[in-house]
Amino acid sequence: MKTMDSHKTISVGDSFKVNQEVDKYRAIYYAGASGDFNPIHIDPEFGKMVGLGGAILQGLCTLGFTADAITTWVSDPGRLKKLKCRFASPVRMGDTLTIEGTVSEVQQSRAKLTVTVKNQDGIEVLTKVQAEIEI
């Protein structure tokens, strides 16, 4: 992914695309960092028992991957001013997420981004993503 020079003008149509591999330990790492040890995230047998087919990644970890993609692109985490979404589909260890963003609107000192987050099967795992960056 090419990062954006902090002095470059951001324009409608500018975009980025990132592929993020979800390694088999990601949910455990995230549980340690966040304190979210819900068994649906760290115990594959429990995930199967409750009908999820195994353990699933914490939704906020997926959102964290999205925030990282945006802030890496703009070269500064402080420029991310808004990020929200709907958690639409589970993410599993071993998935590959594709995070794509395009500048859809520029007004004064902010740019709105249209962002999609899909798994390797093309299923949107986050929907209604709203992101704004400072320009």
Residue positions annotated with a catalytic role:
36, 41, 56, 59
Bridge partners of residue 20, in order along the sequence: 97
CA 73 and chain centroid, separation? 13
Q: How far apart (Å, rounded) are the C-alpha atoms in residues 26 and 37? A: 12
Sign of the CA dihedral running 20, 57, 75, 113: positive
Residue 50 main-chain phi, psi, to 5 deg: -95, 10
49 is written with which tokens? 């028992």
Among 17, 28, 43, smallest CA distance to 98 is for 17
